[in-house]
Amino acid sequence: MSDVIIRVEKGVGRITLNRPQALHALTTEMCAAIDAALIAWQDDPQVRAVLVDHADGTRGFCAGGDIRKVAQSGRGDGVEAREFFAVEYTMNVRIKRFPKPYIAIIDGITMGGGVGLSVHGSHRIATERTVFAMPETGIGLFPDVGGGWFLPRLEGELGTWLALTGAQLRGSDVVAAGIATHFVPMDRIEALKGDMLAHGADVVTRYAETVSPAAYARHVDMINRCFGNDTMTAISIALNGGDDWAREQAKILTKRSPQSLAVSLRQLREGRKLDSFEDVMRMEYRIASRITSTRDFSEGVRAVIEDKDQSPDWVAELTEGAIEVFFQSLGTMDLQFPDISS
């Protein structure tokens, strides 16, 4: 059985992730297949919308990309890692520019690459089982797949907090944050899919429920005050001078890769200023091409995914110049996107 099942059903392009043994983590081949389907469907008058979900009976929508394979490549010549990011990021742009309704059912774990597969579409439907996170700084990576676009455009500094700490949002809080567009209880999802196949994407509003204030709402002022600073040192000082919750966030940051934190903060600040989604993705490709060959990324994957001892030995000494390198042009290797209609 294919890792991603692609078909057209009643005028709806269906994409179903089917790699349950890896929580549907994306591979280069899966991203290429999805991108090819979107190319075929975007101008096909017989396809009026796209619906993305995951195989029944599995607990995650998509846990991210195939990080183990990316790390193996990064320890060598990095060619396969760069290929993966080029294909994945092109798919992300295709989703962002897709001219028809693009509905993702983000039920269960939705992290990293799973966020990129959903958040740029027109409809993102969360359930009570949804667990959103961008946990990349914990493995020496950074919140890519367009994180530099959507995270700094969330209210206040919510995106900065999520990106740096890897904090999780659950259920309706994903809608409250502006990451999902609708909340639909699990017991109504199958009915929603059937109605959508019969009548189109507009039926989503019939199934969506109003969401309550988010669990993080009481911390918003602290988030904005502390994570609004432009250096990791200033953020840490502000957090340590805050309340108990803020000091807990400061403690979390001490366990993240210092390199990843500095790169991610710069990525978000730069991404906030860029007007083009493609420019953000080009920036992220520059970062990804370099960071996946660093010691911190290799060590983070070893500690969290391979050996699972949860004790990475990060490189602590950083210079401003060392961070700047990640953002420099790759010259002829810079990622170029096809002409994708907006």
Catalytic residue list: 65, 113, 136, 144
**Count of all residues that appear for the chain in the document:** 342
Give the C-alpha separation, 110 to 64, whole Å: 7
Give the C-alpha separation, 7 to 292, whole Å: 34
Nearest CA-CA partner of 136 in 160, 164, 100: 164
Half-sphere exposure of 165 (CA within 13 A, CB side): 24
Give the C-alpha separation, 106 to 201, whole Å: 16
- Which token pair is 165? 């700490």
- Decide: residue 210, CB within 10 A, 0-12 exposed, 13-18 middle, 19+ buried: exposed
DSSP characters over 241-304: TS-HHHHHHHHHHTTS-HHHHHHHHHHHHHHHH-S-HHHHHHHHHHHHHHHTTSHHHHHHHIII
Contact 57, 81 (CB under 8 A): no
Nearest CA-CA partner of 19 in 109, 135, 141: 109
